[in-house]
């Protein structure tokens, strides 16, 4: 069986459910975790969940757009991680902690 | 070859971009090469295109090139399009050629300036904008070039921005021409709303079909365009900016007066001539404005002491001649004079620049003298330029063009003896004021010792002077009056774009008599200058002791008091208003009205019922504010939770509602 057919053999909702689970896991991670590194990782999981949904949808309608969007998402994620990690470094230098709740100086 | 048309404005613009962005990293040499070669190439292309155009004319003597569409909205779709016909070809040839010569001259003239790159960047932008203005095939694109030259004139007049006076001169030029530009913009709005297009050729056809001669709208739009043209070309009553524009470096003045900027108004009127023929009243006004301006500016030029200001007033006066020609319907004569004027005025400015430079920034002609021996080349070139400006018969280009204008001012349908007389008087004045400068600067005694060690102008300065001098001499031989061979190369070429002028009054014999009178006028002016300023200077000095004459002189020198008049009429009231409002007059009115009302309310409402309502409102606001600000906890995770619940909520609404 060729790869395209192998992918087409998987029903779409399986892939979408997997994406939804990943997305929910990521969101729970953001809400529950206090360490900023884990929050960043959870964001990555959510982004990848969205990417997976795109790919699955692209495979369902046999369009390349889904994969194109995944590449966009990867690029965005890379940019986001680099900025995020730089911010984390600065935050750590300043507060000597990575607890998200401790860094609440910016309240209104 | 014709398809290279788009390169003519593009090359100088590209030069501008390179110099503006990378000028800091380039050496003097490469800046000069980039700045000059961009205009040189576009001049070369213009010449090649011109040869091609004449050798194998495109159908209808018109070549159009649409680069791309600029805006397309609600039926309004001006494009970036170029339109080449006989008129724009002549203009673009003159502009690019003279710009190139001036750039070449500037490479040496400005070599000591620290802002070398900035100078050439602005100059290139200036030339590029002017080419856009000339080649545009719709009025909006033309307006882009129009504003572009306005901007560049501001930047270049204020080039030496460290002196506040230069900044003031630049602002004045910008604001005064802005008045005309605003009128022109309104004119364009009117044209578009009533005729539905801004493409010049369809627009002109449409106007010719829809509007009868003397139609109110035609008169209104033509008048608005005339106001724009008068602002750019420094005609009455918007001429006051040009003499002050001398604050810029001399090559800028040469460029502005010869090739770019001030000729734009003449070109605009020639380009939209159909509109002006539909509005005879306005066309007559063009002639009258031209006649008045040429006389007023001529008298002012007569008494200036700054060599560049003499030339500035003479430009105003010569543009007046062109307006006069446009006003009587002699379109090709106006463009012919524009061409010859471009050559000799560039020559005069560039020569004056050398004079000023070798005397170390001395502008006053009364402190110059006897420079004939010290600057021989400049003496000859300035003399040739002056002779051409004074229309010295037979040998100079200015003679042929000015004579044509004078004859048309008499003979055309719109012409009359009064207009001719104004032009004739102007011719005497021209000879008088320019040879006054020649005699004071180059003859007589040296009044300022030339500083020792002054370098002789180099090749890059003398070459443009010599080329321009040659053009100022032979440039007129393409169009000669009937009794001198009756060549009509120029007018028959331009007639492909502009209607010919018909002689209505005047016989063949009259033309010869008028020619002789015109010759007498220019020779008389020169002779008078010789008598007054070289032979018997004591006579004038004696005259100036009489208070009345001194006062007239002062009046003319100040440009007929227009500056003072405008100061009194516009500037002062405006400043007064601004000062008055600084103390918040309008605020005070509101305050008084409101406090009266409040006092009345106080009387009506002794128990503070109204206040209680307002306090309640304020309390409510405060409560809501506190509740909202409590949500701004600064805890990122709560924000994330809020975003999540919000998006889930919206999804629910989207799916189930």
Percent of chain B beyond pLDDT 90? 11
Do the Cβ atoms of A106 and B634 come within 8 Å?
yes
Mean pLDDT in residue range B129-139: 90
Do the Cβ atoms of B634 and A107 come within 8 Å?
yes
pLDDT tens per residue across span B297-319: 888 888 888 888 888 889 889 99
pLDDT tens per residue across span A35-44: 889 999 999 9
Q: What is the pLDDT of residue A6?
A: 67
The answer for A 33-52 residues in CB contact with B (under 8 A) is 34, 39
pLDDT tens per residue across span A2-61: 666 666 677 888 999 999 999 999 999 988 888 889 999 999 999 999 999 999 998 888
B633 at interface of A, judged by CB pairs closer than 8 A: yes
B626 at interface of A, judged by CB pairs closer than 8 A: no
Decide if B423 is inside a domain: yes
Q: Which residue of B has its CA nearest to A28?
A: B641
Mean pLDDT in residue range B260-285: 87
The reply to whether B525 and B547 lie within a common domain is yes
Decide if B426 is inside a domain: yes
Mean pLDDT highest for which of A52-56, A61-65, B372-376? A52-56
Using an 8 Å Cβ cutoff, are B517 and B409 in contact? no
pLDDT tens per residue across span A74-96: 999 999 999 999 999 998 998 88
Decide if B168 is inside a domain: no
The reply to whether B551 and B600 lie within a common domain is no
pLDDT tens per residue across span B394-448: 778 888 888 888 888 888 777 788 888 888 888 888 888 888 888 888 887 777 7
Residue (of A48, A50, A51, A60) closest to A13 by Cα position: A60
Decide if B548 is inside a domain: yes
The reply to whether B495 and B594 lie within a common domain is no
The reply to whether B519 and B632 lie within a common domain is no
Q: Which residue of A has its CA nearest to B630?
A: A108
Place of tokens 């008389």: B524
Q: What is the pLDDT of residue A108?
A: 46
Band (A101; pLDDT cuts 50, 70, 90): confident
Report DSSP letters for B173-230, one per residue.
HHHHHHHHHHHHHHHHHHHHHHHS--BHHHHHHHHHHHS-TT-HHHHHHHHHHHHHHH
Query: What's the domain range around B463?
Result: 354-560
- Start-to-end C-alpha separation, chain B: 66
A104 at interface of B, judged by CB pairs closer than 8 A: yes
Decide if B193 is inside a domain: no
Q: What is the pLDDT of residue B505?
A: 67
Residue (of B383, B640, B336, B643) closest to A31 by Cα position: B640
- On chain B, the residues whose CB falls within 8 A of the CB of A39 are 636-637
Do the Cβ atoms of B633 and A107 come within 8 Å?
yes
The reply to whether B489 and B548 lie within a common domain is yes
Do the Cβ atoms of B632 and A31 come within 8 Å?
no
B75 at interface of A, judged by CB pairs closer than 8 A: no
pLDDT tens per residue across span B38-94: 999 999 999 999 888 888 888 878 888 887 888 777 777 788 888 888 888 888 998
Q: What is the pLDDT of residue B14?
A: 92
pLDDT tens per residue across span B101-132: 999 988 888 887 788 888 899 999 999 999 99
- On chain A, the residues whose CB falls within 8 A of the CB of B626 are none
Decide if B640 is inside a domain: yes
- On chain B, the residues whose CB falls within 8 A of the CB of A104 are 633-636
The reply to whether B545 and B639 lie within a common domain is no
Q: Which of B560, B588, B616 is the last residue of a domain?
A: B560
Q: What is the pLDDT of residue A82?
A: 94
Band (B555; pLDDT cuts 50, 70, 90): confident
The reply to whether B547 and B572 lie within a common domain is no
Lowest average pLDDT, out of B220-224, B228-232, B254-258, B319-323, goes to B254-258
Percent of chain B beyond pLDDT 70? 97
ipTM: 0.79
- On chain A, the residues whose CB falls within 8 A of the CB of B641 are 31
Using an 8 Å Cβ cutoff, are B401 and B318 in contact? no
Q: Which of B519, B537, B560 is the last residue of a domain?
A: B560
Average pLDDT, chain B: 84
Does the structure show a pLDDT above 90 at A102?
Answer: no
Residue (of B171, B174, B187) closest to B228 by Cα position: B187
The reply to whether B517 and B547 lie within a common domain is yes
A98 at interface of B, judged by CB pairs closer than 8 A: no
Report the distance separating Cα B486 and Cα A30, nearest Å: 93
Q: What is the pLDDT of residue B612?
A: 83
Do the Cβ atoms of A104 and B637 come within 8 Å?
no
Do the Cβ atoms of A105 and B634 come within 8 Å?
yes
Token pair in block for residue B483 = 């009794």
The reply to whether B423 and B497 lie within a common domain is yes
Q: Which of B560, B575, B599 is the last residue of a domain?
A: B560
| Most A CBs within 10 Å, among B627, B636, B641, B645, to test the A interface | B636
- On chain B, the residues whose CB falls within 8 A of the CB of A103 are 634, 636
A108 at interface of B, judged by CB pairs closer than 8 A: yes
Do the Cβ atoms of A39 and B629 come within 8 Å?
no
Lowest average pLDDT, out of B141-150, B294-303, B399-408, B492-501, goes to B492-501
Of B629, B632, B637, the CB nearest to A30: B637
The reply to whether B598 and B498 lie within a common domain is no
Of A30, A39, A108, the CB nearest to B632: A108
Do the Cβ atoms of B636 and A34 come within 8 Å?
no
The C-alpha of B145 sits at a distance from chain A's nearest C-alpha, in angstroms, of: 41
The reply to whether B589 and B545 lie within a common domain is no
Report DSSP letters for B107-120, one per residue.
HHHTTT-TTHHHHH
Does the structure show a pLDDT above 80 at B543?
Answer: no
Decide if B312 is inside a domain: no
The reply to whether B537 and B634 lie within a common domain is no
Q: Which residue of B has its CA nearest to A24?
A: B644
Helices B307-327 and B331-358 cross at an angle (nearest 10°) of 180
pLDDT tens per residue across span B155-177: 988 888 888 888 888 888 888 88
Token pair in block for residue B75 = 């039926």
Mean pLDDT in residue range B282-291: 89
Decide if B379 is inside a domain: yes
State the total domains in chain B. 2
Q: How many beta carbons lie within 10 A of that of residue A18, not counting itself?
A: 15
Report the distance separating Cα B571 and Cα B581, nearest Å: 15
Measured between alpha carbons, how far is residue B397 from residues B14, B337, B339, B341 in Å?
34, 9, 9, 9
Do the Cβ atoms of B637 and A107 come within 8 Å?
no
Of A31, A34, A106, the CB nearest to B641: A31
- On chain A, the residues whose CB falls within 8 A of the CB of B648 are none
Report the distance separating Cα B389 and Cα B395, nearest Å: 12
């Amino acid at each position: 069986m060729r790869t395209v057919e192998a992918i087409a053999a998987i029903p779409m909702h399986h892939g979408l459910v997997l994406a939804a689970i990943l997305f929910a896991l990521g969101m729970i991670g953001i809400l529950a975790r206090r360490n900023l590194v884990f929050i960043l990782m959870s964001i990555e999981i959510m982004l990848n969940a969205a990417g997976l949904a795109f790919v699955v949808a692209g495979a369902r309608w046999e369009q390349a757009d889904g994969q194109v969007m995944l590449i966009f998402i990867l690029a965005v994620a890379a940019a986001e991680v680099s900025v995020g990690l730089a911010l984390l470094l600065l935050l750590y230098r300043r507060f000597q902690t990575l607890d998200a709740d401790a860094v609440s100086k910016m309240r209104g | 070859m014709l398809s290279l048309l788009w390169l003519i404005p593009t090359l100088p613009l590209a030069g501008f971009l390179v110099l503006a962005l990378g000028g800091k990293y380039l050496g003097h040499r490469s800046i000069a090469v980039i700045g000059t070669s961009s205009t040189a190439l576009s001049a070369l292309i213009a010449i090649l295109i011109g040869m091609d155009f004449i050798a194998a004319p495109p159908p209808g003597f018109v070549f159009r090139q649409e680069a791309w569409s600029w805006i397309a909205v609600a039926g309004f779709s001006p494009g970036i399009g170029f339109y080449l016909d006989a008129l724009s070809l002549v203009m673009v040839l003159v502009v690019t050629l003279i710009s190139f010569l001036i750039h070449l001259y500037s490479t040496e003239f400005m070599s000591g300036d620290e802002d070398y790159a900035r100078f050439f960047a602005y100059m290139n932008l200036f030339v590029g904008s002017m080419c856009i203005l000339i080649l545009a095939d719709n009025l909006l694109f033309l307006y882009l070039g129009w504003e572009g030259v306005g901007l560049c004139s501001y930047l270049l007049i204020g080039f030496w921005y460290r002196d506040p006076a230069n900044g003031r001169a630049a602002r004045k030029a910008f604001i005064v021409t802005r008045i005309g530009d605003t009128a022109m913009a309104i004119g364009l709005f009117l044209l578009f709303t009533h005729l539905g297009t801004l493409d010049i050729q369809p627009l002109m056809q449409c106007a010719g079909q829809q509007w009868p001669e003397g139609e109110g709208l035609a008169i209104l739009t033509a008048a608005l365009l005339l106001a724009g043209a008068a602002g750019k070309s420094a005609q009455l009553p918007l001429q006051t900016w040009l003499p002050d524009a001398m604050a810029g470096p001399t090559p800028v003045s040469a460029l502005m007066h010869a090739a770019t900027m001030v000729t734009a108004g003449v070109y605009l009127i020639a380009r939209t001539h159909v509109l002006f023929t539909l509005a005879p009243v306005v066309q007559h006004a063009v002639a009258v404005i031209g006649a008045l301006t040429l006389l007023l500016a001529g008298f002012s030029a007569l008494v200036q002491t700054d060599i560049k200001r003499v030339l500035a007033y003479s430009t105003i006066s010569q543009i007046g001649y062109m307006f006069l020609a446009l006003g009587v319907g002699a379109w090709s004569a106006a463009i012919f004079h524009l061409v010859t004027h471009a050559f000799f005025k560039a020559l005069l400015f560039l020569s004056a620049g050398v004079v000023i430079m070798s005397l170390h920034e001395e502008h006053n002609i009364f402190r110059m003298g006897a420079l004939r021996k010290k600057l021989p080349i400049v003496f000859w070139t300035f003399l040739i330029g002056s002779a051409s400006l004074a229309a010295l018969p037979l040998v100079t280009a200015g003679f042929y063009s000015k004579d044509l204008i004078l004859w048309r001012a008499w003979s055309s349908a719109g012409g009359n003896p009064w207009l001719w007389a104004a032009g004739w008087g102007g011719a005497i004045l021209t000879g008088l004021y320019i040879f006054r400068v020649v005699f004071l600067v180059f003859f007589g005694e040296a009044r300022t010792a030339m500083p020792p060690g002054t370098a002789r102008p180099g090749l890059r300065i003398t070459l443009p002077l010599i080329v321009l001098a040659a053009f100022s001499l032979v440039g007129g031989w393409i169009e000669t009056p009937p009794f001198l061979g009756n060549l009509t190369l120029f007018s028959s070429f331009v007639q492909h774009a502009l209607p010919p002028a018909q002689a209505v009054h005047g016989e063949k014999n009259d033309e010869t008599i008028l020619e002789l009178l015109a010759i007498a006028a220019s020779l008389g002016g020169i002779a008078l200058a010789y008598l007054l300023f070289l032979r018997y200077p004591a006579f004038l000095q004696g005259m100036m002791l009489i208070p009345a004459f001194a006062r007239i002189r002062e009046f003319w020198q100040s440009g007929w008091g227009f500056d003072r008049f405008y100061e009194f009429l516009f500037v002062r009231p405006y400043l007064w208003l601004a000062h008055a409002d600084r103390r918040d007059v309008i605020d005070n009115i509101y305050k008084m009205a409101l406090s009266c009302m409040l006092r009345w309310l106080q009387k009506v409402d002794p128990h503070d019922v109204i206040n209680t309502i307002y306090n309640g409102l304020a309390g409510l606001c405060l409560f809501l504010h506190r509740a909202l600000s409590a949500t701004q906890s600064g805890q990122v995770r709560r924000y994330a939770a809020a975003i999540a619940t919000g998006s889930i909520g919206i999804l629910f609404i989207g799916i189930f509602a």
